[in-house]
Structure 1
Amino acid sequence: MRVRSAQSSSVIIVLRSVKWFVEYATEEYLFFGLFYGMILVFGFYNLLMFFAIKQKQYLYYVLYNLSIGFYEMCIDGVAFQYLWPNSPAFNNYSYGIALYLSSVFGLLFTANFLYLKSKAPLLFNVVLAIIGLRTVFFAFCLADPYLFTYKLVEVVPLAAALYAGIWVWRNGYKPARFFVVGYSFLMLGFLIKLLVLLNVSWLPYGPITHYSLSFCFVVEMVLVSFAIGDNIRHLRKKKDKVQKRMIYQLQVNEKLKDTLNQELSGLVNERTREVVEKAQIIEQQNAELSNVNALLKEQAEQISRMNVLLEQDNKELTVNIEKVTRARVMSLEVDFEEFSKIYPDRETCFKYLSELKWPKDYSCRKCAHTNFHEGQLPYSRRCSK
């Protein structure tokens, strides 16, 4: 039998009975069903996790699993049989596209799941660089599909992801342990597949070695799912720890608040007591001041009455003194010097004479008329009738 192909092909020719072939085909399709079913189940589960938690790592893992399933469908011929049976030329690109997507989404999932950007910035930059280089190589492969046969390049992103997991695990991130074990199985399956492609003589070829990579993919999916669950438990513990710390801090703050409130209440009560005491003192002093003011007012009224009496006495004394003085003048017992002091000018004399003539009201001596007008001399009066 001669097989001719434009690309590298793996052709296994085995001479077996019909019964054995039927049993083998049944078991093979059962394995395919389990394999693709697990990919769909794990993909759907992580898609729900993405919608629930809104973390990109779950979406990357869904795309990574779908890419692995797409690659296995291309290798097993299922994709060509059911998806593009009339486009055999696309097979030259299909498995290469699937490998590229698997590498890129696998590295993106690794970077996000292991938090490389914060835990290992250097490794994060290395992962981004590998994605960039892998993209450049993929562009060359699209130009020359023969380059897709260099599957050995896939060991670089796989080794980078495995090393990043080991580094993060050794630095205390426990959820990375399942990730490391899962990718170790994946690396083992890849190496076995590589040895098969290199036709190593000491490695027996059969169903186990042929499907070793698929089996390791299944183990890797299970272990990475454990890692995701462990990561969720780790986040929950971290959240619980933070909540407990917050509760403890709130309790401490509550105690401090109660203590401060008690101290402030004591200070306020003490201050209130002082204010009340001072208010009582001020009220007492105000009462005393009111009494003093009342006493002073009473004394002022008494003084005012005394001043009125004194003023009356002064007026009477003044009048009496004037009368005595005038009486002395009229009695002709006063000398000229004393007379000049009492009546220093002409007007004073006329005023005195006017008061003697009209001590109360004006009344004409001839007609007893009370209206008058000023005369020519000071203080003189003329009847106006």
Structure 2
Amino acid sequence: MNRFYFIISLLLYQIFSFQDLYGKQTEKDDNIFYIEEAKDYANIIEYMDYYVDPSSQLGIQDISSPEYINKFEPVSDIHVVYEAFDQNIWLRLKIKNLENIHNHSWYFESWGFDINQFTYYFPNPDGSFTANTSGYDFPFYQRNIKHKNFNYLLDIRPGEQKTYYFKVKRSYPLAFNLHLRTNEKFIAHTLNEYYFLGIYYGVLTLILVFNLYLVYKLRDTLYLYFAGLILACIWFSFGRDGLGFQYLWPNHPEFNFLTQGNITQVAVVIATLLFSNRFVQKYNTSSLMFRATIIAIILKFVLFFIQDTLFHIEGRTYIGLTISIMLVPFSIGLRLLLKSKIYSWSYIFAYACLFLVIINSHTIAFALFDDQVINWYFVHPVIFLEVVLFSLSIFNQMKFLQEQYKTVSEEKTLALEEKNRLADELNNKLQQKVKERTEKIENMAKDLASKNVQLQTTNLKLQELNTQVNQINEYLRKNNEQLRTNMEEVTKNLALMKGLDFESFKNVFPDKDSCLQFLSELKWKDKYICRKCGYNKYAEAPNHGRRCKNCNYFESPTVETLFHKLKFPIEKAFYILYLSNRKDVDLTLNELSEILDLRRETCWAFKNKITQAMEKVGHNKDLSGWENLVLVHLE
């Protein structure tokens, strides 16, 4: 019998033990979060309750009292509620630690660093709560843990169960991303996060400093606009990770509104448009591209003003309008690049990255990824890639301009070498003529010396040979006059450069480009001064013109010269001017018209213009070259 009672007792004990165990397991069905192992716990918001305080007057003693303990509702969405921006939202988290390890410290972390007010209530053993208030509207030093996110020590030991309260006030329906992790995992995650953000900002800063150096050395607005774009990207990033508040203005939370998404997006868009316009204009100057850029900037400002003041534009619509505004100058710039046979893939992909940045700036309306952390930090590598691609575009442009400058320099060198060859050829001919005249003069001098010796030896017979001496003197006088005449003729030949027909002249000035190059070198041989603003720095322009670096005024080589507003080929006008300065050639208008294949009236009109220029400056054909008439300007 005793054995029977023993067996019955054992069975009853097993049944009650099973019921106990089953009862403990069913306790997990309550809205309690259980810590079972040392790992990262994400999406803690799913285990929390919430209560919206319409009056925003309730305190922790009210919320934790039995009156309100059953008014909390389970959280069904990571945004909790999509409204209640002017009301306090209370969050409640019940945690039970089922671990057996006593050396783990647990931390609660909210990755929504831009919450306006976040108050953490830590439960004390006596039933009271210790509060810590911080947030985007409070100085950074009020945080217990000086981290860009909100981090709090839970201090929950194995076997303990505690209830924590959080009071939240926000300005937009952010998605709550809450985590639980041990001290070791919290430190490892924080070090990695700050390490990669440090590399990100460090590289952007190095590129920024390098571009500011290029602005100082090259005085080119392209690098100034690119530096502005990098600053706008850094500013935009501060609005995504909160490091600006932590390190730049920790005691001035009122500055945090400057990192709002719409404001930083405007800065990035405008900086990109200005940089893009200057980048394309260096390949192919276009007033259409400039006007499209200005209009796009104005439209973006209007869109920003309407969004923040008049009425609200839904996020997806705002993204679509912004991208549409930017596509117009981008398309025009891309067409200009293709027209110049410039295939800058890095420039195109950089713009694609910019569009991703614009889309990602509205993560509430358009989430690219389900993971909120990846969705939030995705913009950093995209911005980094955008800056790197734009930098590659600049380097490719520098290489292109360098090769273009090298080609132009080689062509200019060849032209100068040809010019020097022709000048040397003419100088050699003149030197040969001078040498011949000099030898003749020396022979005559020797003859005179011989006759002087004869005169000295026949001095005693002076009276008898007086007639002969007079004849010899007359002979010497004639020789001297002839010698003087010959010397004057040589001087004139040097000045007039006789002997070039139209075919020979075309070897010197074969086409329009060589004439414009000669005219440009002659016009600005002393110094360049802008006629519009007086600035003395310029950039080389097409057709050997010059463009002022201050006011962008373009001046052609023919402006305010004898060839201003010329209606026929300039190389033919050069030859007419050349012939007009020669005394040994007197072609009729019909002959000149036939040689140059021009109308007789055209030849007459330009020769008349040359005559007016000669009268204006008092030109002397005998002493002055034809190039002295080139810079004469007739109103």
What TM-score bracket applies, with the shorter chain setting the length?
A: 0.5 to 0.7
Distance 1:36 1:269 in 2: 76
1:205 and 1:168, CA in 2 relative to 1: closer, same or farther beyond 3 A? farther
Question: Does 2:269 match 1:103?
Answer: yes
Which of 394, 413, 418 aligns to 1:228? It is 394
Structure 1 gap segments, 5+ residues each: 294-385
Q: Show the counterpart of 2:170.
A: 5
Which residues of 2 match residues 186-197 of structure 1 at below 5 A? 186-191=354-359, 196-197=363-364
Aligned residue identity for 1:77: G
The answer to which of 20-29 and 160-169 deviates more is 160-169
Distance 2:380 2:217 in 1: 30
Which residues of 2 match residues 203-352 of structure 1 at below 5 A? 203-269=369-435, 290=471
Question: Does 2:327 match 1:159?
Answer: yes
Matched pairs, number: 290
1:155 and 1:24, CA in 2 relative to 1: closer, same or farther beyond 3 A? farther
Instruction: Say if 1:111 and 1:124, in contact at 8 Å, map to a contact too.
Output: yes
Distance 2:283 2:202 in 1: 33
1:147 and 1:18, CA in 2 relative to 1: closer, same or farther beyond 3 A? farther
Which of 235, 247, 255 aligns to 1:70? It is 235
Q: Deviations over 1:81-112 (max 9, x none)?
A: 34445555554443333222222222111111
Structure 2 SS opposite 1:197 = coil
Instruction: Say if 2:238 and 2:244, in contact at 8 Å, map to a contact too.
Output: yes
Distance 2:418 2:473 in 1: 58
> How much has 1:4 moved relative to structure 2?
4.3
> How much has 1:160 moved relative to structure 2?
4.4
Structure 2 SS opposite 1:114 = helix
Aligned residue identity for 2:203: M
Distance 2:325 2:403 in 1: 31
The answer to which of 43-52 and 107-116 deviates more is 107-116
Distance 2:471 2:432 in 1: 35
Q: Show the counterpart of 2:365.
A: 198
> How much has 1:67 moved relative to structure 2?
1.3
Instruction: Say if 1:93 and 1:145, in contact at 8 Å, map to a contact too.
Output: no
Return the TM-score normalized by structure 2: 0.40
Distance 1:215 1:30 in 2: 14
Q: Deviations over 1:288-322 (max 9, x none)?
A: 972799xxxxxxxxxxxxxxxxxxxxxxxxxxxxx
Instruction: Say if 2:177 and 2:372, in contact at 8 Å, map to a contact too.
Output: no
> How much has 1:126 moved relative to structure 2?
0.6
Aligned residue identity for 1:135: F
Aligned residue identity for 1:197: I
Structure 1 SS opposite 2:370 = coil
Q: Show the counterpart of 2:353.
A: 185
Instruction: Say if 2:222 and 2:275, in contact at 8 Å, map to a contact too.
Output: yes
Distance 2:473 2:219 in 1: 84
Structure 2 gap segments, 5+ residues each: 1-47, 49-90, 92-167, 452-466, 475-635
* Percent of paired sites with the same residue: 22
Aligned residue identity for 1:70: W
1:26 and 1:206, CA in 2 relative to 1: closer, same or farther beyond 3 A? farther
> How much has 1:31 moved relative to structure 2?
2.0
Q: Deviations over 1:167-216 (max 9, x none)?
A: 2332235484322222223334544565x43356x943244333222111
Structure 2 SS opposite 1:49 = helix
Question: Does 2:206 match 1:41?
Answer: yes
> How much has 1:258 moved relative to structure 2?
1.2
Q: Which has the higher Rg, Structure 1 or Structure 2? A: 1
Instruction: Say if 1:162 and 1:184, in contact at 8 Å, map to a contact too.
Output: no
Q: Show the counterpart of 1:343.
A: none
Instruction: Say if 1:178 and 1:227, in contact at 8 Å, map to a contact too.
Output: yes
The answer to which of 102-111 and 142-151 deviates more is 142-151
Which of 207, 222, 226 aligns to 1:61? It is 226
More strand by share: 2
Distance 1:116 1:160 in 2: 19
Question: Does 2:290 match 1:124?
Answer: yes
> How much has 1:162 moved relative to structure 2?
4.2
Distance 1:38 1:292 in 2: 96
Q: Show the counterpart of 1:136.
A: 302
